Amino acid sequence: NLDRVTREACPELDYFVAFSSVSCGRGNAGQTNYGFANSTMERICEQRRHDGLPGLAVQWGAIGDVGIILESMGTNDTVIGGTLPQRIASCLDVLDLFLHQPHAVLGSFVLAEKKAKARAEGEGQRDLLKAVAHILGIRDLAGINLDSSLADLGLDSLMGVEVRQTLEREHDLVLSMREVRQLTLRRLQELSAQAGAAPELAATTSKESSPAQEQARLNLSTLLVNPEGPTLTRLNSVQNSERPLFLVHPIEGSTTVFHSLAAKLSIPT
């Protein structure tokens, strides 16, 4: 890879810069593989610094002016996960600063101003259907089947975060990512038209949970992680000469989800 090549071919390199993502440093649902890949890249930069070589990984947030943000949302003012797209000129200024400090991993993103939830009496909520269509990059709803789910219309994790924020900001409705993906345009249209529809939708979505999903819900007390606890946790009591299996916990830090799997394994876990 580039790290090995530059170590051999140009050890006097002035800069070695890699672009990571804020999704790696702070996490984002549905992007575990993306986060791990970026994390590996960051560890390479840290190792380079340790070896006395240049190495910098920048965890960027959403980038404005170019790319998918501008193409799908059409503006640099779109709030994405509580942040605004960072303009290219700003990125270049930040990069210039980062190149002159000793740290291997740094991040840069633009926080959006928090808007008050309270609105003047009589002020109408904006059309939720049009707002979501704008997030999805749909410019003409005339030819779209209103019974299509947001997942069917190409909702990705980045768009999903923005839709969730819109629902919470405009209707005080908090939904999981799964529930957001299952929403249809027709249901969003009804939400815009109905007063008090948010509680109704919340009740509807809660009833849709299957028995299997209810059974899979874990007690919160089992998910709470003691920060002073051990780094490694034994998941089963198997004792033999087989090479042990190490499992990496999910982002919340709990190994509870692995207990049933570990109990069925015949190797130390």
Residue with tokens 């109990």: 263
Q: Which residue has the higher pLDDT, 74 or 33?
A: 33
SS3 content of the chain, % helix, strand, coil (to 5): 45, 10, 50
Mean pLDDT of all residues in 25-47: 86
Comparing C-alpha atoms, which of 67, 16, 61 is closest to residue 42? 16
**Range scoring the smallest mean pLDDT among 49-58, 141-150, 209-218, 237-246:** 209-218
In the chain, where the domains are located:
2-111, 128-209, 222-269
- pLDDT at residue 251, rounded to an integer: 62
pTM above 0.95, yes or no: no
- pLDDT at residue 54, rounded to an integer: 94
- pLDDT at residue 198, rounded to an integer: 46
Give percent above pLDDT 90 in the chain.
20
- pLDDT at residue 252, rounded to an integer: 56
Mean pLDDT of all residues in 51-58: 94
- pLDDT at residue 122, rounded to an integer: 34
On the question of pLDDT at 19 being above 90, the answer is yes
d(CA 164, CA 194): 19
Q: Which residue has the higher pLDDT, 58 or 197?
A: 58
User: Which tokens belong to 126?
Assistant: 């904006």
- pLDDT at residue 56, rounded to an integer: 95
Q: Domain spanning 2-111 has what CATH number? A: 3.40.50.720
Per-residue pLDDT of 152-182, as tens digits, reads 888 887 788 888 888 877 777 778 778 888 8
Mean pLDDT of all residues in 175-197: 76
Q: What is the mean pLDDT of the chain?
A: 77
Cα-Cα-Cα-Cα dihedral sign, residues 67, 73, 77, 82:
negative
Burial class of 19 by CB neighbour count within 10 A (0 to 12, 13 to 18, 19+): middle
Per-residue pLDDT of 94-131, as tens digits, reads 999 999 999 999 998 888 765 544 343 333 345 778 88
Bridge partner list, 228: none
Q: Which residue has the higher pLDDT, 40 or 219?
A: 40
Q: Domain spanning 128-209 has what CATH number? A: 1.10.1200.10
pLDDT band for 66, please (50, 70, 90 cuts): confident
- pLDDT at residue 225, rounded to an integer: 53
**Range scoring the smallest mean pLDDT among 64-78, 176-190, 236-250:** 64-78
d(CA 146, CA 5): 53
